[in-house]
Amino acid sequence: SEEKSLNFIEELIENDLSSGKTKTLVTRFPPEPNGYLHIGHAKAICLNFGLTQKYGGYTNLRFDDTNPVTEKTEYVDSQQADIQWLGFQWKNELYASDYFDQLHSFAVKLIEDGLAYVDHSTAEEIATQKGTPTEPGTPSAYRERSVDENLALFAQMKNGEFADGTCTLRAKIDLSSSNMLMRDPIIYRIKHAHHHRTGDAWCIYPMYDFAHGQSDSIENITHSICTLEYVSHRELYDWFIEKLGIFPSKQYEFARLNLTYTVMSKRKLMQLVNENMVSGWDDPRMPTISGLRRRGYTPESIKEFCERIGIAKRENLIELSLLEFCIREDLNKRATRVMAVLDPIKLIITNYTKGEEILIGENNPEAEDKGGTREIPFSNELWIEREDFMEEPAKKWFRLAPGATVRLKHAYIVKCEDFKKDESGNVTEIHCTYIPESKSGEDTSGINVKGTIHWVSAKHAETAEVRLYDRLFTVESPDSEEGDFKDYLNPESMQVIKQAYIEPYLANAEQGIGYQFIRKGYFSVDKDSKPGNIIFNRTVGLKEAWKP
């Protein structure tokens, strides 16, 4: 493989390892189990797991499950399945909720050290007290409560003696800090809510900033990698670790993945699911890992994509066509080439008196071993694509037209002698003669034809449902348009072909394997497919819009 320069995170890890500051590299992937993982998460997964694959050490999977209201076990399960499907295995499966006792003790320690207080101010009052970036904040009336009073009140909070919103625990830091997050942030709030793991054991829950860094520290995470939104949180992250005197995990930030024609936040993807704008989290149009998998993406193509986009310190927007390029490249190497007719029209070979025969087709000219061969039945009645015939051919038309010749892929050269139309003028049948000496691989006819078309023998064909997809949104950045992002959904993002014809070989097509329908794109079997009711998804078209 080609030499790649180090990204900035690899550079700092190499420094930390060679200076001895880091003995064993420990990273973590910390999803909140409040939805399915998307391609942005794949970037963070590849980064965190990729670093410990490269430098040794290990990566934990930690569910950041400190918000009882939004989290579900269904999401925990799907997130695990998606990480494993990408090909990564975590060392420890951990839950921030397992640290609730420990985090609670940390909060008590801060209170004891005079560094936290119970505040009975309302949310609005606290917001006002924060001040503005140019004006310092003002102290809450409760800021100078004694340690004993705070300990007693915090115990009452924990014991469920207060209703939601009555009071909070705030860190006592610096009301004039230029970093608004340092102006006495809330670290615990009351929520009488059932938690997916701890049940009703708790009615106070730690805020993200009080849970994340300390969880990293408990796990001896050396490099806690997150996205740029957290730059301003770093000061607070370090402050808690310093005041508590615990393992000094360090936070580093990289640019999140933004992709054109896509939204990438679990909250927004959930809206699409809940409002039935897609069929589910794994709808093949979704940018979720499960959606991409169902669409026919391979783990390798997603990892290659993450490799190509690299790790940056500044926000950017990546072209969806780069992701498509990566799967096309991957499937080009591995996909069996087959024939399927999506918009059929009958072609009859009037001089083919043999009835039928078996032809042999090469599976993949791009593969090293050519992918082997398969049998393709041929007969005097075929299905071809409607678009491969023109009654009045345009200039440079090399496909079928009255009097024209083409090669039928893997078969013979045929000449169009006649055609039939129905009352409304639609062509219903094309009549051809074939040249017996022109059989592919043993052609002695001496005839040169410019066009080759695909076909399926009518009598042997199986039927299939074929789903064609387009981008889910009509604009590049649905998030930054006026109004609601859902106003920009592409009404033509899915086209369903109820009855396409496929060669018999595909009756046994398996899920998770990419096929090239020649001239039509790459397809894979949908998870709802059943014998006798085969469904294919188009993963990606053949045309290359993006050039590396």
Q: Both tokens of residue 435?
A: 């040249």
The reply on whether position 454 binds ligand ATP by CB under 6 A is: no
Report the residue number, 226 or 468, with the smaller CB distance to ligand ATP.
Answer: 226
Residue 513 assigned ligand-binding role:
no
- The residue (of 214 and 380) whose beta carbon lies closer to ligand ATP is 214
Helix (H, G, I), strand (E, B) or coil at 255: coil
Q: Is 157 annotated as a binding residue?
A: no
CA-to-CA distance for 523 and 331, rounded, in angstroms? 10
Asked whether residue 32 is marked as a ligand-binding residue, the answer is: yes
Beta carbons of 190 and 222 less than 8 angstroms apart: no
Sheet holding 381-385, edge to edge: 452-453, 405-408, 413-421, 427-434, 344-349, 381-385, 456-457
Residues 320 and 260: beta-carbon distance below 8 Å: yes
CB of 212 to ligand ATP, least distance (A): 9
Report 287-316 residues binding Mg ion (CB under 5 A): none
- Our finding on whether 284 is near ligand ATP (CB under 6 A) is no
Binding positions for ligand ATP, 34-63, rule CB under 6 A: 40-41, 43-44
Q: Which is nearer to ligand ATP, 60 or 529 (CB)?
A: 60
Of the candidate residues 138, 177, 227, 332, the single one contacting ligand ATP (CB under 6 A): 227
Token pair recorded at residue 21: 């500051």
Q: What is the x/- site pattern for Mg ion, positions 17-46, by CB under 5 A?
A: ---------------x--------------
Q: Known binder of ligand: residue 34? A: yes
Nearer to ligand ATP, 226 or 349 (CB): 226
Residue 70-89 contact track with ligand ATP, rule CB under 6 A, x = bound:
--------------------
Reported as type and span, the H/E element at residue 418 is: strand 413-421
Q: Is 264 a residue that touches ligand ATP (CB under 6 A)?
A: yes
Tell me the number of residues near Mg ion by CB under 5 A.
1
Residue list 8-37, contact with ligand ATP (CB under 6 A): 30-32
Residue 212 binds ligand ATP, judged by CB under 6 A: no
Q: Under a CB-based contact definition with an 8 Å cutoff, are residues 396 and 366 in contact?
A: no
**Are the C-beta atoms of residues 485 and 478 closer than 8 Å to each other?**
yes
In this complex, which beta carbon is closest to ligand ATP, that of residue 267 or of residue 313? 267
The secondary structure element, H or E, covering residue 303 is helix 299-309
Q: Which residues contact 131 (CB under 8 A, 6 or more apart)?
A: 137, 138, 175, 183
For residue 531, the SS3 value is coil
Q: Determine if 250 is a binding residue for ligand ATP (CB under 6 A).
A: no
| Residue sitting closest to Mg ion (CB) | 32
Q: Distance between CA atoms of 406 and 416, rounded to whole angstroms?
A: 9
Pick the closer one to Mg ion by CB: 16 or 32.
32
Residue 34 and residue 1 in contact, taking contact as beta carbons nearer than 8 Å: no
**Least separation in angstroms between CB 224 and ligand ATP:** 9
Active site residue 32: yes
Distance, in Å, from the CA atom of 330 to the CA atom of 300, rounded to the nearest integer, reads: 7
Which H or E element spans position 376? strand 373-379
Choose between 97 and 457: whose C-beta lies nearer to Mg ion. Answer: 97
Helices (H) and strands (E) in the chain, counts: 12, 25
**Could you tell me where the DSSP H helices lie in 90-233?**
100-112, 123-129, 147-158, 208-218
Residue 227 interacts, among Mg ion, ligand ATP, none and using kind-specific CB cut-offs from 5 to 8 Å, with ligand ATP
Cα–Cα distance for residue pair 110/348, rounded to 1 Å: 85
Give me the residues paired with residue 465 across strands. Answer: 535
CB closest to ligand ATP, residue no:
40
3-state helix, strand, coil in the chain (%, to 5): 30, 25, 45
Considering CB distances under 5 to 8 angstroms, the limit depending on partner class, which of Mg ion, ligand ATP, none binds residue 521? none
Binds ligand ATP (CB under 6 A): choice among 103, 226, 401, 461: 226
Q: Is 266 annotated as a binding residue?
A: yes
Question: Does 303 engage in binding with ligand ATP (CB under 6 A)?
Answer: no
Establish whether 166 is an annotated binding residue.
no
Tell me which DSSP letter residue 61 carries. Answer: E
Of the candidates 28, 266, 295, 303, the residue annotated as catalytic is: 266
CB of 183: closest distance to Mg ion in angstroms?
Answer: 22
- Whether 490 has a binding-site annotation, put simply, is no
Indicate which of Mg ion, ligand ATP, none lies near residue 226 (CB less than 5 to 8 Å, by partner kind).
ligand ATP
In the chain, the amino acid numbered 507 is A
d(CA 257, CA 45): 12
Sheet of strand 340-341: strand arrangement: 336-338, 515-517, 521-525, 534-540, 462-469, 494-502, 340-341
Query: Which among 164, 309, 179, 188 is positioned nearest to 238, based on CA atoms?
Result: 179
Marked catalytic residue, from 32, 300, 366, 417: 32
Query: Residue 98 region, left (φ>0) first, then alpha (ψ -120 to 50), else beta?
Result: alpha
Among residues 28, 130, 250, 256, which one is catalytic? 256
64 labelled ligand-binding: yes
The minimum distance between CB 304 and ligand ATP, in angstroms, equals: 16
Size, binding site for ligand ATP by CB under 6 A: 16
Nearer to ligand ATP, 218 or 359 (CB): 218
Catalytic residues: 32, 256, 266
Question: Which stretches of the chain bind Mg ion, using CB under 5 A?
Answer: 32
Binding residues for L-glutamine: 64, 208
Binding residues: 32-34, 38-44, 64, 208, 227, 256-257, 264-266
Binding residues for ATP: 32-34, 38-44, 227, 256-257, 264-266
Question: Which stretches of the chain bind ligand ATP, using CB under 6 A?
Answer: 30-32, 40-41, 43-44, 64, 226-227, 256-257, 264-267
